[in-house]
Every structure is written in C-alpha cells, then in structure tokens.
Amino acid sequence: MLPVLYAIIVATLFPFALGPEHALLARIAGGVVLVTVLLAMLLALDNVFRGDLDDGALEQMLLSPQPLSVLLAARMLAYWLVTALPLLLVAPILAYMLGLQPAVQPVLLLALLLATPLLALLGIVLTALTAGTRRSGMLLSLMLLPLAVPIVIFAAGAVGAAQQGLPWIAPLAWLAAALALALVLAPLACATALRIALDT
C-alpha cells in the first residue's frame, strides 16, 4: 500500500505548488496522474528481487527445472497485481480531485491499463540487471527513464487528445502493440538479464 500512499501525497502536492486554479489543474491532471503512478511503481521496483535474493529463494528458482522465463512472468504479474492495480483504483479519484473532465476519465484509465503493465514488464527486466548490485534505487530510475519516455508520451498523448476532443485511439493502439510485444519478449529478456547479473 506504500506506493498508493506515495501517489496520493505527490498528487496532493501539485495544487499547493501550482495554485488551486481549476483550469490549469484540469489541463495538467492527466499528465500529473500518469507521472505520479509511474513514480509510485518505481518505488516498489527495487524490491522485486531483493527479498528472494536475500533469503536464497531466487537461487532455488534459478536452479529448478522449470523454465526461468515462466517463473519470472509470474513474478511480473504478481508485481503488477500488488503495485499497479491499487494505483489504478486510486488514479481516477486523484484525477477527479485535480479536475479532469469526467468524459476523459475512461481514456485515462485505459491509458493506465496499458501503460502500467508495460512499465512493470520493462522495469522488472532492468531490476533483474541490477540484481547483483547492492543498492540500485537511483540507478534504476536512471535506467528506466529512457524506456519510460515513449510510454509517458503515448499515454499522456491519448489523454491530452481526448481532453481536446480529438481522436485518441492511435496512441493507445501503439501502447497496446508495445504491450503485446513486451508480454512475449520481456520474460525472456528478464531471464537473460538475471543470469547475466547473477553470473550463471
């Protein structure tokens, strides 16, 4: 629940920083919620392998006869369910508090529904790469930023287009295509990354 709390705190700070002017907040609401959710997900990313690494469970996973990529796919799903799903539940509330038009809410939710699994998949691949290092929080943000840029652009682009009453399907379709690709490739890449980082 920590990421949810974090997202609420960050989103709450924006009106204090920018002033309570409704028009301004409404215009940036979609982007603020997207970035907030991304940062909150990043917060939990560093811990994805930490526990398993510390108690040796990761070794048992690596050495079991099951395909590692399938085990990691399960780990990615678990991360999304535990971290992203609660964020998806509070995101509409945060967007509403910031004054996003109700008509745009479904687009924001759809954008988050596509962007959060994509971030989870890519983020865990990068986390696996840092598994052999001691502290990696800051490094992980640096590594994730270039991958997050297109995701944020397309997700926020769809929300922005919907706010202006323009067609918003195209950027979401790109996100969906990227997600379909990542669903297949990310677990394999993650298995490779983990074996590199743990030197096996």
Partner 1 sequence: MSPPPATSSPPLMIEARALGFTRRDEDVFGPLDFALRGGEIGLIEGDNGSGKTTLLRVLAGLLRPGTGTVQVLGAQPGSEEARASTIIMGHLLGLKADLSALENLRIGMGLYGRAADANPDAILARVGLDGYANEAVRDLSAGQKKRVALARLALLPARLWLLDEPYANLDRHGIALVNDLLAQHAAAGGAALVTSHGAVNFHQGVTCTVRLAA
Partner 2 sequence: MNAFKLWYHKLGSPPYFYVFAGYIQPWLWTIAIVLALLGLYGGLVLAPPDALQGDAFRIIFVHVPAAWMSLFVYGVMAVSAFIAVIWRPKMAEVLAMESAPIGAAFTLIALITGSLWGKPMWGTYWTWDARLTSELVLFFIYLGIIGLYHAFDDPRQGARAASFLAMIGAVNLPIVHYSVVWWNTLHQGTTVRYFGPSSIAPSMLWPLLLMTIAAKFYYGASLMGRSRVALLDRERGKDWVADEVRGGDVHG
With CB under 8 A as the contact rule, the residue among 63, 70, 142, 153 that binds partner 1 is 63
End-to-end CA distance of the chain: 34
Distances 77 to 84, 121, 177 between C-alpha atoms, Å: 10, 9, 18
Contacts of 128 (CB under 8 A, 6+ apart): 49, 72, 190, 193, 194, 197
Q: Which residues contact 103 (CB under 8 A, 6 or more apart)?
A: 162
Min CB(10)–partner 2 separation in Å: 21
- Joined together, the tokens standing for residue 97 give 């508090």
Does 146 participate in binding partner 2 (rule CB under 8 A)?
Answer: yes
Q: What distance in Å separates the CA atoms of residue 114 and residue 166, rounded to the nearest whole number?
A: 20
12 touches partner 1 by CB under 8 A:
no
Among partner 2, partner 1, none, partner that 54 touches (CB below 5 to 8 angstroms by kind): partner 1
Q: Does 123 bind partner 2 (CB under 8 A)?
A: no
Interface stretch with partner 2, choices 47-55, 56-64, 102-110, 189-197 (CB under 8 A)? 189-197
Least distance between partner 1 and beta carbon 76 (Å):
17
Regarding 125 and contact with partner 2 (CB under 8 A), the answer is yes
Distance CA 43, CA 61 (A): 24
Closer of 97 and 195 to partner 2 (Cβ): 195
Interaction of residue 134 with partner 1, rule CB under 8 A: no
Q: Locate tokens 């790109």: which residue?
A: 174
* Residue 61 found at the interface with partner 1 (CB under 8 A): yes
Q: Under the rule (CB under 8 A), what is the footprint of partner 2?
A: 125-126, 129-130, 132-134, 136, 139, 142-143, 145-147, 149-150, 153-154, 157, 160-161, 189, 192-193, 196-197, 199
